[in-house]
């Protein structure tokens, strides 16, 4: 108990998350008369990073950084608007469609929300859309990032849960499509009953411009297709796919003349900082998991949960509730890294498919990105658009309900996340 109390106190006073986890683990060792194991901390942390799958993290981070700096997102937006902009609420649909396409490249909810809120919310407001509605669509669309492949959260889950990453990538496709369709349906309901959406505006484009827009957007959209097809066909490992995706992104950005050699320093520096942050979290969380396992905490947790319920579905609903609650205060990667190793014995005991569980963890932990009081995604879009918290949360509420409904569907129907990997990954 003292370990948990100390952990939250350190977080509340603004202590870095990796420091809070490391301190909690050390306090647990001392309070359990296991101080002799403190000398093993560096070995445990170093061992946590001796995993080949971790190489995929900087590579896919590089793809996202190059895409951000290289103007590929703007080209996806232009193509999406061309495809669905003629519908009422077309800009909202284009927002979600761009999020779905960019999700496959960026793989980070916060990065995606930051890029899209800077571009889409002002554009939608200029066309007559309500600002809070525009921000809500943008924020909810950002949740597609950690689901569609290649997903950073899926890589991290695969590392901490010791699961193959290729099936996890493929497993996010159908749930991602389901979430995209639910969000589109909610936009459609708004178009029927709300004055937040302007009438259809017809834009007459020259055929040559239409062709250029489609080509410019189609090429970046090919990146996730190449990744998924390459992995499913067994031609590339996830790490190799990250390298190929980075190379394609670089080629496109230099071809479009959107980035220059002098931009590479900032791109690589950002990737290095993000990679170091994630790997540090993985190292300290692995140490904490080792300490808890040494004391038999996972076994006691298995006994407690199985005594409470033997239903895999009820267990997953409890996990969803716990992850959403912790996501109110902690960053999504931190929640996953801390909880997943502790919960995996229960997953095995109840016969839950670890691939299905990974998809649930990715979605559930990400919800915290857009929920108050901490919700970094909310503050990102508020900072970019000057929308008020109250108005944003009210506009976002229907979309959050829709996301939770999809989560329950994923928990209730294992085949939604397990059927496609079983068919494609041999």
Residue 204's pLDDT band (cuts 50, 70, 90): very low
Angstrom distances, CA of residue 389 to CA of 135, 300, 331, 392, 395? 11, 41, 19, 5, 10
Angle (nearest 5°) at CA 33 between 30 and 36: 80
Q: Can you tell me the distance from the alpha carbon of 204 to that of 210, in angstroms, rounded to the nearest whole number?
A: 10
Is the pLDDT at 343 greater than 90, yes or no? no
For the residues of 56-102, what is the DSSP string, one character each?
A: HHHHHHHHHHHHHHTTHHHHHHHHHHHHHTTSTTHHHHHHHHHHHHH
Q: How far is CA 33 from the centre of its chain?
A: 39
- Residue pLDDT, tens place only, 258-309: 788 888 888 888 888 878 887 887 788 777 777 777 666 666 766 777 778 8
* The Cα angle at residue 149 between residues 16 and 275, in degrees rounded to 5: 30
Report the distance separating Cα 95 and Cα 89, nearest Å: 10
Provide the mean pLDDT of the chain: 79
Q: Tokens 């239903």, residue?
A: 311
381 and 146 Cβ atoms separated by less than 8 Å: no
Tell me whether the omega of the peptide bond preceding residue 302 falls within 30 degrees of 0, making it cis: no
pLDDT tens-digit readout, 366-399: 887 777 666 666 777 777 677 887 888 888 889 9
CB within 8 Å of 257: residues ≥ 6 apart? none
Task: Please report the pLDDT score of residue 185 as a whole number.
Answer: 93
């Amino acid at each position: 108990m003292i370990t948990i109390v100390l952990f939250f106190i350190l977080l509340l006073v603004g202590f870095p998350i990796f420091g809070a986890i490391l301190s909690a683990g050390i306090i647990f060792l001392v309070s359990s008369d296991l101080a002799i194991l403190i000398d093993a901390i560096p070995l445990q942390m170093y061992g946590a990073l001796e995993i080949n799958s971790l190489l995929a993290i900087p590579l896919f981070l590089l793809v996202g950084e190059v895409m951000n700096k290289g103007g590929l997102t703007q080209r996806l937006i232009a193509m999406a608007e061309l495809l669905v902009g003629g519908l009422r609420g077309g800009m909202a649909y284009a927002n979600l469609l761009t999020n779905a396409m960019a999700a496959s490249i960026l793989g980070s909810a916060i990065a995606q929300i930051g890029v899209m809120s800077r571009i889409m919310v002002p554009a939608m407001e200029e066309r007559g859309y309500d600002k809070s509605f525009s921000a809500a669509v943008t924020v909810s669309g950002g949740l597609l990032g950690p689901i569609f492949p290649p997903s950073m959260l899926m890589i991290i889950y695969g590392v901490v849960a010791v699961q193959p990453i290729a099936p996890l990538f493929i497993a996010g496709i159908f749930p991602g499509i389901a979430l995209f369709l639910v969000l589109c349906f909610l936009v459609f309901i708004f178009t029927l009953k709300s004055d937040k959406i302007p009438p259809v505006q017809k834009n007459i484009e020259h055929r040559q411009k239409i062709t250029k827009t489609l080509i410019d957007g189609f090429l970046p959209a090919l990146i996730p297709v190449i990744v998924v097809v390459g992995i499913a066909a067994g031609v590339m490992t996830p790490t190799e796919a990250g390298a190929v995706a980075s190379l394609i992104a670089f080629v496109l950005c230099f071809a479009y003349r959107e980035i220059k050699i002098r931009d590479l320093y900032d791109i690589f520096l950002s990737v290095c900082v993000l990679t170091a942050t994630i790997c540090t979290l993985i190292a300290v969380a692995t140490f904490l998991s080792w300490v808890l396992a040494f004391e038999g905490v996972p076994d006691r947790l298995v006994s407690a949960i199985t005594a409470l319920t033997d239903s895999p579905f009820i267990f997953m609903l409890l996990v969803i509730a716990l992850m959403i609650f912790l996501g109110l205060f902690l960053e999504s990667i931190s929640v996953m890294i801390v909880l997943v190793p502790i919960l995996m014995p229960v997953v095995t005991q109840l016969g839950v498919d670890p691939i299905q569980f990974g998809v649930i963890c990715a979605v559930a932990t990400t919800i915290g990105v857009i929920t108050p009081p901490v919700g970094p995604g909310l503050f990102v879009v508020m900072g970019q658009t000057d929308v008020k918290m109250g108005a944003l949360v009210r506009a976002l509420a229907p979309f959050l309900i829709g996301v939770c409904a999809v989560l329950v569907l994923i928990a209730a129907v294992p085949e939604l996340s397990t059927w496609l990997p079983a068919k494609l990954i041999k």
